[in-house]
Amino acid sequence: MLIIGEIAINNTALVTGSSGFIGFHLSSLLLSCDWTVIGLDSMTNYYDVNLKKARLAKLNENLNFQNYTGLVQNEKLLEKIFSKHKPSIVVHLAAQAGVRYSIDQPLSYVESNLIGTFQILEISRKYSPKHLLIASTSSVYGSNKEFPLNENQRTSTPMSFYAATKKSNEIMAHSYSHLFNIPTTIFRFFTVYGPWGRPDMALFKFTKNILADTPIDVYNKGNMVRDFTYVSDLVKAIFLLITKIPKKPNSRKVIFKNDSISDVAPFRVVNIGNSQPVNLLDYIKELERVLQKNAKKNFMDMQDGDIHKTHSNVSLLEALTDFSPKTTVRQGITEFVKWYKAYYV
Protein backbone atom coordinates (compact mmCIF):
# COMPACT_ATOMS: atom_id res chain seq x y z
CA MET A 1 0.00 0.00 0.00
CA LEU A 2 1.35 3.42 -1.01
CA ILE A 3 0.42 6.56 0.90
CA ILE A 4 0.66 9.76 -1.14
CA GLY A 5 -0.31 12.72 0.98
CA GLU A 6 -3.67 11.60 2.30
CA ILE A 7 -4.27 9.20 -0.59
CA ALA A 8 -3.82 5.43 -0.21
CA ILE A 9 -2.98 3.46 -3.33
CA ASN A 10 -3.44 -0.32 -3.28
CA ASN A 11 -0.63 -1.09 -5.75
CA THR A 12 -3.07 -2.57 -8.26
CA ALA A 13 -2.94 -1.09 -11.75
CA LEU A 14 -5.04 -1.70 -14.81
CA VAL A 15 -2.94 -1.35 -17.96
CA THR A 16 -4.92 -1.27 -21.19
CA GLY A 17 -2.95 -2.35 -24.24
CA SER A 18 -0.81 -4.50 -21.95
CA SER A 19 0.39 -6.80 -24.75
CA GLY A 20 1.36 -3.85 -26.91
CA PHE A 21 4.84 -2.39 -27.17
CA ILE A 22 4.65 0.24 -24.43
CA GLY A 23 2.05 -1.62 -22.37
CA PHE A 24 4.29 -4.67 -22.18
CA HIS A 25 7.28 -2.65 -20.95
CA LEU A 26 5.21 -0.72 -18.42
CA SER A 27 3.55 -3.88 -17.11
CA SER A 28 6.96 -5.53 -16.78
CA LEU A 29 8.29 -2.57 -14.80
CA LEU A 30 5.27 -2.50 -12.48
CA LEU A 31 5.54 -6.24 -11.86
CA SER A 32 9.25 -5.91 -11.07
CA CYS A 33 8.26 -3.39 -8.37
CA ASP A 34 5.76 -5.83 -6.81
CA TRP A 35 2.64 -4.27 -8.24
CA THR A 36 -0.39 -6.32 -9.19
CA VAL A 37 -1.11 -5.68 -12.86
CA ILE A 38 -4.43 -6.30 -14.55
CA GLY A 39 -3.80 -6.41 -18.28
CA LEU A 40 -6.37 -5.77 -20.98
CA ASP A 41 -5.55 -6.18 -24.66
CA SER A 42 -7.67 -6.89 -27.72
CA MET A 43 -4.84 -8.73 -29.55
CA THR A 44 -5.94 -7.25 -32.90
CA ASN A 45 -4.10 -8.13 -36.10
CA TYR A 46 -2.94 -4.59 -36.97
CA TYR A 47 0.50 -6.19 -36.81
CA ASP A 48 1.82 -9.70 -36.11
CA VAL A 49 -0.30 -11.17 -33.32
CA ASN A 50 2.46 -13.67 -32.54
CA LEU A 51 4.63 -10.82 -31.29
CA LYS A 52 1.82 -9.76 -28.95
CA LYS A 53 1.40 -13.36 -27.80
CA ALA A 54 5.14 -13.59 -27.05
CA ARG A 55 4.96 -10.43 -24.93
CA LEU A 56 1.90 -11.78 -23.13
CA ALA A 57 3.61 -15.09 -22.44
CA LYS A 58 6.44 -13.27 -20.66
CA LEU A 59 3.98 -11.26 -18.56
CA ASN A 60 2.08 -14.42 -17.65
CA GLU A 61 5.23 -15.79 -16.03
CA ASN A 62 4.55 -13.45 -13.11
CA LEU A 63 1.80 -14.53 -10.71
CA ASN A 64 0.92 -10.90 -10.02
CA PHE A 65 -0.27 -10.46 -13.60
CA GLN A 66 -3.80 -11.27 -14.69
CA ASN A 67 -4.79 -10.97 -18.33
CA TYR A 68 -8.09 -10.15 -19.98
CA THR A 69 -8.52 -10.34 -23.74
CA GLY A 70 -11.09 -8.02 -25.26
CA LEU A 71 -11.83 -4.60 -26.64
CA VAL A 72 -11.41 -1.58 -24.41
CA GLN A 73 -14.73 -0.30 -25.73
CA ASN A 74 -16.49 -3.35 -24.25
CA GLU A 75 -18.52 -1.82 -21.42
CA LYS A 76 -19.45 -5.15 -19.81
CA LEU A 77 -15.85 -6.36 -19.77
CA LEU A 78 -14.66 -3.15 -18.12
CA GLU A 79 -17.40 -3.47 -15.50
CA LYS A 80 -16.26 -7.03 -14.78
CA ILE A 81 -12.62 -5.95 -14.38
CA PHE A 82 -13.31 -2.92 -12.18
CA SER A 83 -15.87 -4.62 -9.96
CA LYS A 84 -13.51 -7.52 -9.30
CA HIS A 85 -10.12 -5.82 -9.02
CA LYS A 86 -10.91 -2.18 -8.16
CA PRO A 87 -7.60 -0.83 -9.48
CA SER A 88 -6.27 2.31 -7.79
CA ILE A 89 -4.32 3.24 -10.90
CA VAL A 90 -5.52 3.09 -14.50
CA VAL A 91 -3.00 3.54 -17.31
CA HIS A 92 -4.87 3.73 -20.59
CA LEU A 93 -2.47 2.87 -23.43
CA ALA A 94 -4.78 0.87 -25.70
CA ALA A 95 -5.33 2.65 -29.00
CA GLN A 96 -5.24 2.22 -32.72
CA ALA A 97 -1.78 3.55 -33.53
CA GLY A 98 -0.17 4.79 -36.71
CA VAL A 99 -0.37 8.06 -38.63
CA ARG A 100 -0.57 6.64 -42.15
CA TYR A 101 -3.00 3.81 -41.33
CA SER A 102 -5.48 6.42 -40.06
CA ILE A 103 -5.84 7.76 -43.60
CA ASP A 104 -6.98 4.39 -44.96
CA GLN A 105 -8.85 3.01 -41.93
CA PRO A 106 -10.26 5.99 -40.00
CA LEU A 107 -13.20 4.07 -38.53
CA SER A 108 -10.89 1.86 -36.48
CA TYR A 109 -9.57 5.03 -34.82
CA VAL A 110 -13.09 6.17 -33.99
CA GLU A 111 -13.87 2.80 -32.41
CA SER A 112 -10.62 2.27 -30.50
CA ASN A 113 -9.47 5.78 -29.67
CA LEU A 114 -12.71 7.71 -29.26
CA ILE A 115 -15.25 5.12 -28.09
CA GLY A 116 -12.62 3.11 -26.19
CA THR A 117 -11.40 6.14 -24.27
CA PHE A 118 -14.99 7.20 -23.61
CA GLN A 119 -15.65 3.82 -21.95
CA ILE A 120 -12.51 4.18 -19.82
CA LEU A 121 -13.72 7.61 -18.71
CA GLU A 122 -17.19 6.29 -17.92
CA ILE A 123 -15.92 3.37 -15.84
CA SER A 124 -13.51 5.71 -14.05
CA ARG A 125 -16.43 8.02 -13.30
CA LYS A 126 -18.16 5.09 -11.61
CA TYR A 127 -15.23 3.54 -9.70
CA SER A 128 -13.11 6.65 -9.00
CA PRO A 129 -9.51 5.39 -9.38
CA LYS A 130 -6.92 7.42 -7.47
CA HIS A 131 -5.17 8.38 -10.71
CA LEU A 132 -6.08 7.97 -14.37
CA LEU A 133 -3.17 8.24 -16.80
CA ILE A 134 -3.86 8.40 -20.54
CA ALA A 135 -1.47 8.15 -23.48
CA SER A 136 -1.43 10.89 -26.07
CA THR A 137 1.17 11.72 -28.70
CA SER A 138 3.53 14.43 -29.91
CA SER A 139 1.50 14.32 -33.13
CA VAL A 140 -1.08 16.58 -31.45
CA TYR A 141 1.36 19.49 -31.85
CA GLY A 142 0.62 19.33 -35.58
CA SER A 143 1.92 22.30 -37.54
CA ASN A 144 3.64 24.02 -34.58
CA LYS A 145 7.06 25.37 -35.52
CA GLU A 146 8.23 26.78 -32.17
CA PHE A 147 10.70 24.31 -30.70
CA PRO A 148 11.12 22.70 -28.26
CA LEU A 149 7.43 21.88 -27.98
CA ASN A 150 5.92 22.51 -24.56
CA GLU A 151 2.63 21.40 -23.01
CA ASN A 152 1.05 24.87 -23.13
CA GLN A 153 1.45 25.40 -26.86
CA ARG A 154 -1.56 25.22 -29.15
CA THR A 155 -2.62 21.80 -30.37
CA SER A 156 -5.44 22.86 -32.68
CA THR A 157 -3.81 21.92 -36.00
CA PRO A 158 -3.45 18.10 -36.14
CA MET A 159 -1.97 16.84 -39.40
CA SER A 160 -3.50 13.35 -39.29
CA PHE A 161 -6.74 11.76 -38.16
CA TYR A 162 -4.75 9.72 -35.63
CA ALA A 163 -3.53 12.96 -34.04
CA ALA A 164 -7.06 14.35 -34.14
CA THR A 165 -8.42 11.39 -32.18
CA LYS A 166 -5.67 11.70 -29.55
CA LYS A 167 -6.33 15.42 -29.17
CA SER A 168 -10.00 14.54 -28.78
CA ASN A 169 -9.04 12.10 -26.01
CA GLU A 170 -7.28 14.92 -24.16
CA ILE A 171 -10.34 17.17 -24.38
CA MET A 172 -12.72 14.38 -23.36
CA ALA A 173 -10.55 13.51 -20.37
CA HIS A 174 -10.38 17.12 -19.23
CA SER A 175 -14.17 17.41 -19.23
CA TYR A 176 -14.56 14.23 -17.14
CA SER A 177 -11.79 15.34 -14.79
CA HIS A 178 -13.61 18.64 -14.23
CA LEU A 179 -17.13 17.25 -13.98
CA PHE A 180 -16.39 14.18 -11.85
CA ASN A 181 -13.16 15.11 -10.06
CA ILE A 182 -11.07 12.36 -11.67
CA PRO A 183 -7.33 13.07 -11.15
CA THR A 184 -5.95 12.71 -14.66
CA THR A 185 -2.53 12.93 -16.28
CA ILE A 186 -2.12 12.95 -20.04
CA PHE A 187 1.34 12.10 -21.34
CA ARG A 188 2.47 12.93 -24.86
CA PHE A 189 4.95 10.42 -26.28
CA PHE A 190 7.75 11.40 -28.65
CA THR A 191 8.74 8.66 -31.18
CA VAL A 192 9.22 5.67 -28.90
CA TYR A 193 11.54 2.83 -29.98
CA GLY A 194 13.31 -0.15 -28.48
CA PRO A 195 13.13 -3.95 -27.98
CA TRP A 196 9.76 -5.61 -28.56
CA GLY A 197 8.78 -2.66 -30.77
CA ARG A 198 5.99 -2.49 -33.32
CA PRO A 199 6.81 -3.91 -36.79
CA ASP A 200 5.14 -0.91 -38.48
CA MET A 201 7.65 1.54 -36.99
CA ALA A 202 10.69 2.86 -38.84
CA LEU A 203 13.49 1.20 -36.84
CA PHE A 204 11.84 -2.20 -37.11
CA LYS A 205 11.28 -1.89 -40.87
CA PHE A 206 14.76 -0.47 -41.47
CA THR A 207 16.44 -3.30 -39.58
CA LYS A 208 14.42 -5.98 -41.33
CA ASN A 209 15.09 -4.58 -44.80
CA ILE A 210 18.79 -3.85 -44.31
CA LEU A 211 19.42 -7.40 -43.10
CA ALA A 212 17.50 -8.72 -46.10
CA ASP A 213 19.35 -6.45 -48.60
CA THR A 214 16.05 -4.77 -49.41
CA PRO A 215 15.85 -0.98 -49.95
CA ILE A 216 14.42 1.12 -47.13
CA ASP A 217 11.91 3.91 -47.83
CA VAL A 218 13.27 7.25 -46.62
CA TYR A 219 10.50 9.85 -46.64
CA ASN A 220 10.95 13.54 -47.39
CA LYS A 221 14.31 12.46 -48.81
CA GLY A 222 15.60 12.11 -45.27
CA ASN A 223 14.86 15.71 -44.33
CA MET A 224 13.10 14.73 -41.10
CA VAL A 225 13.96 15.30 -37.45
CA ARG A 226 12.62 13.20 -34.60
CA ASP A 227 12.88 13.24 -30.81
CA PHE A 228 13.59 9.51 -30.44
CA THR A 229 12.68 8.24 -26.96
CA TYR A 230 13.92 4.89 -25.70
CA VAL A 231 11.12 2.75 -24.32
CA SER A 232 12.72 2.03 -20.92
CA ASP A 233 13.07 5.77 -20.31
CA LEU A 234 9.46 6.30 -21.33
CA VAL A 235 7.97 3.71 -18.98
CA LYS A 236 10.16 4.87 -16.10
CA ALA A 237 8.70 8.35 -16.59
CA ILE A 238 5.16 6.95 -16.59
CA PHE A 239 5.91 4.95 -13.44
CA LEU A 240 7.22 8.04 -11.66
CA LEU A 241 4.19 10.08 -12.75
CA ILE A 242 1.81 7.58 -11.12
CA THR A 243 2.41 9.16 -7.71
CA LYS A 244 2.27 12.74 -9.05
CA ILE A 245 -1.49 13.00 -8.73
CA PRO A 246 -3.02 16.29 -9.90
CA LYS A 247 -5.14 17.99 -7.24
CA LYS A 248 -8.28 20.09 -7.26
CA PRO A 249 -7.64 23.70 -8.28
CA ASN A 250 -8.46 25.00 -4.77
CA SER A 251 -5.96 22.70 -3.06
CA ARG A 252 -3.04 22.47 -5.45
CA LYS A 253 0.27 24.24 -5.74
CA VAL A 254 1.84 25.15 -9.07
CA ILE A 255 5.25 23.58 -8.64
CA PHE A 256 6.59 24.86 -11.93
CA LYS A 257 6.05 28.22 -13.60
CA ASN A 258 5.05 26.57 -16.89
CA ASP A 259 2.95 23.84 -15.30
CA SER A 260 0.16 22.67 -17.58
CA ILE A 261 -2.21 21.87 -14.70
CA SER A 262 -5.78 22.94 -15.38
CA ASP A 263 -7.39 25.91 -13.64
CA VAL A 264 -10.67 24.03 -13.31
CA ALA A 265 -9.80 20.33 -12.91
CA PRO A 266 -7.26 17.94 -11.35
CA PHE A 267 -5.77 17.50 -14.80
CA ARG A 268 -2.27 17.85 -16.24
CA VAL A 269 -0.48 17.22 -19.56
CA VAL A 270 3.17 16.07 -19.53
CA ASN A 271 5.62 15.59 -22.41
CA ILE A 272 7.81 12.49 -22.33
CA GLY A 273 10.66 12.76 -24.81
CA ASN A 274 14.43 12.56 -25.03
CA SER A 275 14.69 16.28 -25.89
CA GLN A 276 17.63 15.53 -28.21
CA PRO A 277 16.22 15.60 -31.76
CA VAL A 278 18.09 13.58 -34.37
CA ASN A 279 18.04 13.86 -38.14
CA LEU A 280 16.56 10.77 -39.79
CA LEU A 281 19.66 10.17 -41.93
CA ASP A 282 21.86 10.26 -38.82
CA TYR A 283 19.50 7.77 -37.17
CA ILE A 284 19.92 5.47 -40.17
CA LYS A 285 23.72 5.88 -39.99
CA GLU A 286 23.66 4.68 -36.38
CA LEU A 287 21.65 1.64 -37.40
CA GLU A 288 24.07 0.91 -40.26
CA ARG A 289 26.96 1.16 -37.79
CA VAL A 290 25.35 -1.31 -35.38
CA LEU A 291 24.37 -3.73 -38.14
CA GLN A 292 27.75 -3.24 -39.87
CA LYS A 293 25.88 -3.03 -43.11
CA ASN A 294 24.90 -0.15 -45.40
CA ALA A 295 21.29 0.50 -46.28
CA LYS A 296 19.98 0.73 -49.82
CA LYS A 297 17.87 3.88 -49.66
CA ASN A 298 14.75 4.64 -51.65
CA PHE A 299 14.31 8.41 -51.22
CA MET A 300 10.67 9.43 -51.31
CA ASP A 301 8.46 12.49 -50.88
CA MET A 302 6.82 13.45 -47.60
CA GLN A 303 3.84 11.29 -46.72
CA ASP A 304 0.39 12.70 -46.07
CA GLY A 305 -0.24 13.33 -42.38
CA ASP A 306 3.45 13.37 -41.45
CA ILE A 307 5.28 16.24 -39.79
CA HIS A 308 8.80 17.49 -40.38
CA LYS A 309 10.12 17.80 -36.84
CA THR A 310 9.48 16.89 -33.22
CA HIS A 311 11.47 18.18 -30.25
CA SER A 312 10.16 17.94 -26.70
CA ASN A 313 10.52 20.32 -23.80
CA VAL A 314 10.59 18.03 -20.74
CA SER A 315 11.06 20.67 -18.04
CA LEU A 316 7.71 19.82 -16.48
CA LEU A 317 8.52 16.09 -16.35
CA GLU A 318 11.85 16.92 -14.67
CA ALA A 319 10.19 19.27 -12.19
CA LEU A 320 7.63 16.63 -11.23
CA THR A 321 9.83 13.54 -11.11
CA ASP A 322 13.51 14.63 -11.04
CA PHE A 323 13.91 12.45 -14.12
CA SER A 324 14.27 12.95 -17.85
CA PRO A 325 15.11 10.42 -20.58
CA LYS A 326 18.81 10.27 -21.37
CA THR A 327 19.37 7.10 -23.46
CA THR A 328 21.21 8.01 -26.67
CA VAL A 329 20.11 6.67 -30.05
CA ARG A 330 23.41 4.75 -30.23
CA GLN A 331 22.60 2.95 -26.98
CA GLY A 332 18.95 2.45 -27.88
CA ILE A 333 19.54 1.14 -31.39
CA THR A 334 22.22 -1.24 -30.07
CA GLU A 335 19.73 -2.71 -27.59
CA PHE A 336 17.02 -2.98 -30.24
CA VAL A 337 19.27 -4.80 -32.72
CA LYS A 338 20.44 -7.16 -29.99
CA TRP A 339 16.80 -8.05 -29.24
CA TYR A 340 15.81 -8.25 -32.92
CA LYS A 341 18.57 -10.71 -33.79
CA ALA A 342 17.81 -12.87 -30.76
CA TYR A 343 14.09 -12.93 -31.63
CA TYR A 344 14.09 -13.16 -35.42
CA VAL A 345 17.49 -14.17 -36.77
In the chain, at which residue ranges do the beta strands (DSSP E only) sit? 2-4, 7-9, 12-16, 36-41, 65-69, 89-92, 131-137, 184-189, 192-193, 216-218, 225-226, 229-230, 267-272, 278-279, 297-299
Three-state DSSP class for 306?
Answer: coil
Question: φ and ψ at 37, to 5 degrees?
Answer: -115, 125
N-terminal to C-terminal alpha carbon distance within the chain: 43
Work out the burial of residue 145: count CB atoms within 10 Å of its CB; fewer than 13 is exposed, 13-18 middle, 19 or more buried: exposed
Beta partners for residue 12, in sequence order: 36
Instruction: Name the nearest CA neighbour of 277 among 237, 315, 332, 229.
Output: 229
Three-state DSSP class for 333?
Answer: helix
Three-state DSSP class for 103?
Answer: helix
Cβ-contact 161, 102 below 8 angstroms = yes
Task: Give the C-alpha separation, 24 to 16, whole Å.
Answer: 10
Task: Give the C-alpha separation, 17 to 117, whole Å.
Answer: 12
Catalytic positions, written as ranges: 162
Instruction: Name the nearest CA neighbour of 28 among 52, 64, 68.
Output: 64
